[in-house]
Amino acid sequence: MNLAHIHIVLNHIPSIGTAVGLLLFIYSMVKKSDQLRKISLQLLVVMSLAVLPTYLTGNAAQSALRNRTDIPRGLIEVHQNAAILTLILMTVTGTFAWFGLWQYRRFSRMGTGTTYAMLIISIFTAAAILLTANLGGDISHPEIRTAVEAPAPEVGWRAEVETFANNSWVWPASETLHFIGMALLFGIMLLVNLRMLGVMKSIPFKAVHRLLPIGILGFILNVISGMLFYIASPGMYYFNPGFTAKIVFLLVAAASVIYFTVFDTPWVMAENKDAPLSAKVVAVSGMVMLLGVMYFGRMLPFLRNN
């Protein structure tokens, strides 16, 4: 099994999951059910994380198909255009979905503005991801191509984004944003995890919880700047075991943030109270994962396959 095979397996998950999440969200609005809405938001957050490895393995699949003469190159470019747009929309959707969950935890309700913004962006996102999946099907299944789709023009965003990212000022600026994002994410999660492990016991978790949006901002900065690096210098990341490990560590670390947002166990912890064992385990694993992200990120140039 190679990365192209993994891409074929993975791409069904965010495609179907996002459509289901949107339908659940709309149904929750009709039924005015907060419980259903929370489930739909949780699902959309998970799908926004799942689309990242899907996109990355898709680039590996493109590399494997680069020299195939039986596949019109334009089809691959059009699919990649849609994939980049989908990645952006899914990042925005996941951010709004997580913020809605944070509002439920913080204020016991989701803000009206967040609700309608979530509805609009998730509709566009579901349409984009289903279109992307359909375009991907045209590549691997010639029997479903139409006469119009077959001779698609060889145009794409990648070359323009690559040129932009390799600009003399863009790369160092992106590096700066990347380190700022990591500092925000690591710093906030360090505070949360230390509270779980018994430090700052005089502070209730509710007070620490309000800082989580800052950590999510750091995560978003990392994703945006990291994707610029990936597009600008794909040779450093293709089939690099260090990059694969970094993405795995990053996704598990994001899961710990979701845990502290969604689950009741840490939230009900008042001042001068110890966290339960489950919260401590998540705290330790989250910190280990973030350290793994930083370590493998630093080791990328040394672990690449030449």
Supply the DSSP string of 155-171, one letter for each residue: --SHHHHHHHHTSTTHH
What does the pLDDT look like over 229-287, one tens digit per residue?
887 777 677 678 888 888 889 888 888 888 888 887 777 676 777 888 888 898 899 88
The three-point CA angle 45-48-51 to 5° equals 150
Please tell me whether residues 16 and 128 are part of one structural domain.
yes
pLDDT of residue 231: 77
pLDDT for the residue numbered 3:
66
My answer on whether 150 and 273 are in the same domain is no
Residue 90 has what pLDDT?
Answer: 92
288 and 208, same structural domain? yes
> 203 with 240, same domain?
yes
Six token digits for residue 175: 């590096």
**Residues 94 and 194 placed together within one structural domain of the fold:** no
Query: Do 27 and 45 share a domain, yes or no?
Result: yes
Q: Are residues 192 and 121 in the same domain?
A: no
Place of tokens 């689309």: 51
Please state the pTM of the whole predicted model. Answer: 0.83
The answer on 220 and 195 residing in a single domain is: yes
Domain count, the chain: 2
| DSSP H or E stretch at residue 22 | helix 12-31
Which of 97, 128, 156 represents a domain boundary (last residue)? 156
Please say which residue of 156, 182, 210 terminates a domain.
156
- In Å, how far are 6, 70, 82, 127, 303 from 209, measured between CA atoms? 36, 54, 36, 33, 37
Q: Which domain holds residue 266?
A: 157-306
Report which listed range, 45-49, 57-61, 233-237, 263-267, is most confident: 45-49
Residues 170 and 143 in one domain: no
Please give the mean pLDDT across all residues of the chain: 83
Rounded Cα–Cα distance for residues 125 and 43 (Å): 14
More confident residue, 302 or 123: 123
Three-state DSSP class for residue 133: helix
DSSP state of 142: G
At 179-229, the pLDDT tens digits run 999 899 889 988 888 888 888 888 888 788 888 889 889 988 988 888 888
The answer to whether residues 208 and 254 belong to one domain is yes
Higher-scoring residue by pLDDT: 90, 200 = 90
* Claim to verify: residue 228 and residue 95 sit in the same structural domain: no
pLDDT tens column, 116-175: 999 999 999 999 999 888 887 767 666 555 654 444 445 566 667 777 777 778 888 888
CB burial of 58-79 (b: ≥16 within 10 Å; e: otherwise) equals bbbbbeebeeeeeebbbbbbbb
Residues 6+ apart with CB under 8 A from 44: 18, 21, 22, 25, 93, 94, 97, 122
Final residue belonging to a domain, choices 156, 185, 217: 156
Residue 171 CA: distances (Å) to CA of 122, 167, 301:
31, 7, 16
Pair 1, 150 in one domain: yes
